[in-house]
Structure formats: C-alpha cells, structure tokens
Structure 1
C-alpha cells in the first residue's frame, strides 16, 4: 500500500485579510509515486496550492503535511528537500552561466560531494534529453529546452515530489507534448510523485487522478476518464474540453455507442474500429 505523501486538511488561504478567500476549506491527499493533475480556470486557486505545498505560502486555516511533517516556518527547509518546483517561465529559475552550472546549483546548496554532483548532472540531463548541452549558455536554448533544463535541475536534488506550475504554458503544442511525455517517463523511472498544475485538459490524460478547482473549492476529484465524461459541466466552469472529447460526444449523439470516454485520438480510433468490425 502506498504511503500518503501530501495531505491538505481543511486548508483555507487568502493573500490579505480584507481580500476574499483564494482557497476555502480544501482537503485532499496525494500518495507516493502518484501522478496528479490539478486543473481549474485562472483564479481557481490551483497555483496557490502549489505554493502552499512548497512552503512559499502558509495557510491561515487548516494544516498541510508533507511526508507526515506539518509545513511550518520551522520545518520549511526540510520540506523543500522533498519538494521540487518548476514554474511557467524557466528564465526565472536560471542562475548558472551554463546548463551544467545551473543543474549543479541546487546540489551545491545542499553540500552534495563533487563526484556525486557530476554523476547526478549527467543522469538528470540524460533523463530529459539534454545530455549534449552541458556547456551551452541557457539563453541560447529554445523554450522547450530551457524547461527541460529546469526540470533536470530539480531532478538532480532527488525530491519525492515534482510540481509543475503551468510549466508548459509558454510552449507550443508540440513542445508541451514532448515535455509531458518526458515527465511521465521521468516519474516512472524515479518513483516520484508528479503534480501538474494546469488549465489545459490535454495535460491530464496520463495522470492517475485529477483534482478540479473552481472558485477556491474542490469541484471534483476523479480519474481523467471520469472527468472528461463531464464535458458540459467543465465548460460551465470555464475549462476548454479537448477536441477528442467533443468529437466523441457528437458521434454518440449521432447514434454511435462508444463503450468508454476516449482520452486521446488513438482511443477514439480504436473505438471506431471496434464498432466498424462488429457491424
């Protein structure tokens, strides 16, 4: 049985006392080696959750536990050893003059021996397909390459959980797909918990579970397939439904009885082929 890694217990948060609550009485659990997507429209509270997990913010009400430890000002530096975060704009995370310097930065802060650092730099850059860019200056990289290096820098310090806060928002569709595929491979190989914060339902397909936020509250929590089946309700709370889900809906309205909600084009084609073979 998998252990609880992150636990939110009735957490509420607002940025100032006179401001409205950004999160209202939120409770959920995330387990070791689990892939979770947290989705919602802008202002729904999803990015605030990421900052609370990483101790960049603290709740006014409720409690957050990481690996059984309450997140407080006293525990925050221990917590951050277990939690890595990749932001929307990778330029904000670069501190080194070369790719390898940047990946080394977090390890230097933790006092990791040089021999181990060299091995981890190679391993983490290889994991994200950037092993040929050790001495490249970060500003010479494309947006997707920069984001890969940012991910490598987090992987190098061996966190238990990796959070992506809208980390693919600045990339084109091809770049987004490549990053998400890379991350899923990395998560599987390194036994990480992966938390993807996004408003793009295309990015939730490979997650084990999806938490949908709406106006600071948990609107739903289910598997991607179960969430996709609620396409009309998702539109009502301001989320764009993937084209494949819209197409599947249209086909069913035309009388084609699909056996399951398709998550991608491949599954839809498989469903159509099965239907064609049996008619």
Structure 2
C-alpha cells in the first residue's frame, strides 16, 4: 500500500473576486511513486492545479496537503523542497550563466555544502545525458537540451514529486519522446511521484492513472485504457483520443475482429496478429 503524497480536499480557486471558478470543489489523491497525468482543454484548470501544488497559488476554498503538510504561505518553502516543477518554456527557469551554475542554483538556496552540490550536479546531469555540457551557456543549447537541464535543476533538490507542466510542448516529436523516456527512467530510479500535465496523448498513455478536467471540475478519473475507451464522450467535451485508438475503431468498422483496447502500436499489432490467426 503506497502512502499519499498529494491530497486536494474540496479545492476551489479563481483569480479574482467575481470571476468564474477556475477550479470548483476538486478532490483527489496522488500516491508515492505514482505516474499521474492530467488532461483537459485550455482553461479546464489543469495548469492551475500544478501551481496550487507548488504554492505559486493558494485556494480560496479547501485544503491542499503535500506529504502531510498543508500548503500555506507559511509552509511553501518546506513544500517546495518536496515538489519540483518544470515549465513549458525552459528559458523561464534559467538563472545561471552555465549549465553547472543553473543546476547549482536551487541547492545554493538550500545551503547545501559545496561537496554535496558537486556530487549532485554530476549525478543529475549524467541522468539527463547532459554531463558533457557542464560549462556551456544555456542559450547555446537546443530546446530539448534546455529542457533536460531544467529537469536536472529540479532533480538536484531531490523532490518527492516532479510536475511537468506542458514541459514537452515546445519540442519536436523526437525531443518529446527522448525527454519522456528520460523522465520515466528517473522516476523509477528515484521512486518519484510524476505528475504530467499535457496535451500529448502519447504521454498520457504512459501514466498509471489519468484525471480528465472539464470546466474546472474532475470529469473522470481512471486508468488510461478506461479513459480512452470513452472516446465519444471525450470528443463531446472537446478532447481527442490517441491515433491508435481511433485507428482501432476504423478497423472494427471495417470488420476486423479487435477485442481489446490498444493504447500503442505494439498492442495494436498484437491484436491484429491474434485476429489474423483466427481467420
């Protein structure tokens, strides 16, 4: 049984008095070493959830608990030791003149000894395959390399929860795949809770659990396979489904006997092989 790391208790939030609620009475839990994804159309509240977890915003109603502590203006510095966040644009996170300096920044703010900082810099840059760029200026890096360094800077503070808020949105498909493979490996090594907020359905299918947001409320919460089985309902609220799922539907309509929901190409090929052997 895994312990709870994040808990939203009837949380509501709006940016100013009189405006509509961006989040409306939301409750959910995230457990240690869990990979969770949030999806929803623009304005559904998913990025607001990320900022609330990290203490960048505070709810008008309800409570947010991180590792047993309530998120308040008084507790945010302790909370941010446990919750690391990577944003869509890595340039917004860079503060150092070199890759090394940037990764060291968070550790310096926490007063870590220099010897420990050097050790962690080596570890995290090795983990994201950026060790050879130790003294490189961030603006000389590609988009994917910048995002790797941003992730390394967060990992260096040893968070228990890693939030990726549209962190691959500015990358090409190859860069997205590489970043998500790196993050998946790091999550397993570090036993992190990984929270992915994304529009990329290929990232969603890698999660253990998905929360679908719609108009500030939790519309559904289930495993990816169960979420994407509700294809017509998802389209009704303006969301797409993975290409493989849509292709499976077309094949079924064409008379191909597919019996299980496929989430990726490998699963679909397996289904096609099974159906062919039965013919």
Per the TM superposition, whether the score is higher than 0.5 is yes
How is 1:33-72 mapped onto 2 (pairs within 5 angstroms)?
A: 33-72=33-72
Aligned to 2:125: 125
Q: Which residue of 2 aligns with 1:204?
A: 204
Residue 180 of structure 1 corresponds to 180
Query: Relative to structure 2, which stretch is displaced further, 252-261 or 195-204?
Result: 252-261
SS in structure 2 at match of 1:28: strand
Q: Could you say what secondary structure the match of 2:133 adopts?
A: coil
| TM superposition shift of 1:239 | 1.5
Rounded Cα–Cα distance in structure 2 between residues aligned with 1:273 and 1:132: 44
5+ residue gaps in structure 1? none
Give the match's secondary structure for 1:132.
Answer: helix
Distance (whole Å) between structure 2 residues aligned to residue 271 and residue 131 of structure 1: 42
Question: What is the correspondence of 1:133-148 to structure 2 with a 5 Å cutoff?
Answer: 133-148=133-148
Give 3-state SS (helix, strand or coil) of 2:107's partner.
helix
Query: d(CA) in 1 for partners of 2:204 and 2:272?
Result: 23
In the TM superposition, residue 257 of structure 1 has moved relative to its aligned partner by 2.7
Superposed, 1:214-229 pairs within 5 Å as 214-229=214-229
User: Deviation of residue 93 (structure 1)?
Assistant: 0.2
Question: 2: CA distance between counterparts of 1:257 and 1:21?
Answer: 45
Confirm or deny: 8 A CA contact 1:107 1:117 kept in the other structure.
Answer: yes
Checking the alignment, whether the CA contact within 8 Å between 1:2 and 1:32 is kept in structure 2 is yes
**Superposed displacement of residue 175, structure 1:** 0.9
Tell me, which stretches of 5 or more residues in structure 2 are unaligned?
none
Contact 1:199 1:239 in 2 (8 A): no
Counterpart of 1:161 in structure 2 is 161
Name the SS of the counterpart of 1:153 in structure 2: helix
Output the CA distance in 2 between the equivalents of 1:236 and 1:47.
Answer: 21
Query: TM-score, structure 1 length as denominator?
Result: 0.98
SS in 2 for 1:10: strand
Q: Comparing 264-273 with 150-159, which one deviates more in the overlay?
A: 264-273
Q: 1:16: which partner in 2?
A: 16
The answer as to whether partners of 1:163 and 1:196 remain within 8 angstroms in 2 is yes
Residue deviations 1:152-175, cap 9 Å, x none? 000000000000011111111111
Number of aligned residue pairs: give it.
279
TM-score by length of structure 2 reads 0.98
